[in-house]
Chains A and B, each alone.
Chain A
């Protein structure tokens, strides 16, 4: 089975967000594999171990993403591909990323592509379905279970708390929802092995793409931080009196009840 994972390097969830010159300040921030993509890596490894084949992890970004790709290799992925757009693209969007990944994957005969259902930074959740559309293959988003037998796929999809059992066949793209699996930590031997695993670096030229081909369809005109919330009123007195006061405040002051 020829399995591909789409992986994004994102800010650690612990990070506070600050701005400098109207952009998100990355100085000193810790970066991680997007948590939903971590489920994707884990699932790909499990499918390969059960079915045979190879797991290739792809990321579109800058050379800094090599660290997250190495982590995926240390978890057990076989190969990694970094499509470095640092010199070519300044303001890409989801169309840009999907177009690049689609171009890379179009002649790879992928059987299964797994992505996270959303990245915790941009939060758009578009790239997976857009890649499937470019490749002309079906997709199922926010899955919590994946079973493959003789090329037939059965998945459970989380739909706002409901569970849909869906059948499809390969090739297929799925996006991972929390609960799909428990991602493993890289083992020490895994980390050692990962250093020797192949990590290919490509640029737009290598994919025969021009900057115009991948030009964004949207534009960000401003980034800002939400107004800082002032600490509110902590009530005191007997608990029952506090409860009565709270209900009054919610009615008359906050007017939400």
Chain B
């Protein structure tokens, strides 16, 4: 059964996030031949419309308003409700990002609809769209369907393949004028802590440090390796609790759950809470002085050794590879 789906294109730091293309890929799986309508919200976002189309959207609706320069749940909800009212889609997908997590429950609540959060795969089964998502931070998985209302889902970055970009595709990019009013939360200031490097939740490569990193300075070699690989730096709870790094880097059952292509754990023992946050990564490398460390039980490759010796060597080796490539 062909279904119409909306997909929110999320713009961050002047470009569309990769997870928005993945969400279009997800919508293609769910739409069963139905129309995919990209939605853009902001003060000046129309120009991103073509890129959404090149990644598989059939057309795009942009809601532009000075009041939408920064994300607020009120402003974005008013915009999307207007688009939903006009388009009457069967479903709407978001990235499972800070924005998607904040906004989707409000809209699903307003429309008394089901929302499946943090989706890692989608399949069609007997006329139903079946969503798979991790529970207990990835210690188990569940398959769910939406039984009432609009089908809402947030798509976890790095799990569903986006469609290949097709620069020959074209489609209509239209604007919808929405009266944005009564914003009840006002953003006064934004401090960029995450500006160095790639965002953890979307990173294809993560270099994570644990107690073995020993100090704030101990993260430096990890940062260098992350930079060479175009990855992000993460941490275990132990490293955060010891004040070696900010809690925003924490990976685990409390903290972020990540699924990069490559996860390099440096000086991390591998407590069950940490494993819950990273063990579904595609390839795991463990570097630890203790050969008995639990992290080796989930690692694809392990090096027993001092991270301060191994990590700089790895950085050099990858640099060589880059030069030769």
Contacts and interface: CB of A to CB of B under 8 A. Distances in A.
Interface residues of A, number: 81
B303 A235 contact: yes
Interface stretch (A55-63, A68-76, A78-86, A165-173): A165-173
Interface in A115-161: 120-130, 132-134, 138-142, 144, 154, 158-161
B246 interface: yes
Given A242-B303, A242-B305, A179 B279 contact: no
Contacts of B248: 158, 160-161, 179
A2 interface: no
Contacts of A226: 138-141, 279-280
A225 interface: yes
24 contacts: A16-B139, A120-B253, A123-B118, A129-B102, A130-B106, A139-B73, A141-B101, A142-B102, A144-B247, A159-B98, A162-B192, A162-B195, A164-B190, A168-B184, A221-B145, A224-B140, A226-B279, A231-B299, A234-B299, A243-B317, A246-B303, A250-B285, A257-B318, A257-B321
Given A95-B112, A160-B194, A231-B299, 20 more contacts: A16-B139, A24-B140, A120-B254, A123-B257, A128-B105, A138-B184, A160-B200, A164-B189, A166-B188, A177-B247, A178-B250, A179-B248, A221-B145, A222-B142, A224-B142, A225-B140, A226-B140, A229-B298, A231-B298, A250-B262
B305 A239 contact: yes
Contacts of A187: none
A234 B253 contact: no
B114 A218 contact: yes
Interface of A: 11, 13-14, 16-17, 19, 24, 35-36, 93-95, 98, 120-130, 132-134, 138-142, 144, 154, 158-169, 177-179, 215-226, 229, 231-236, 239-240, 242-244, 246-247, 249-251, 254, 256-257
B35 interface: no
A247 to B, nearest CB: 5
A218 B147 contact: yes
B296 A231 contact: yes
Interface residues of B, number: 92
B50 interface: no
Contacts of A19: 140
Contacts of A125: 101, 105, 117
Given A160-B200, A162-B194, A243 B144 contact: no
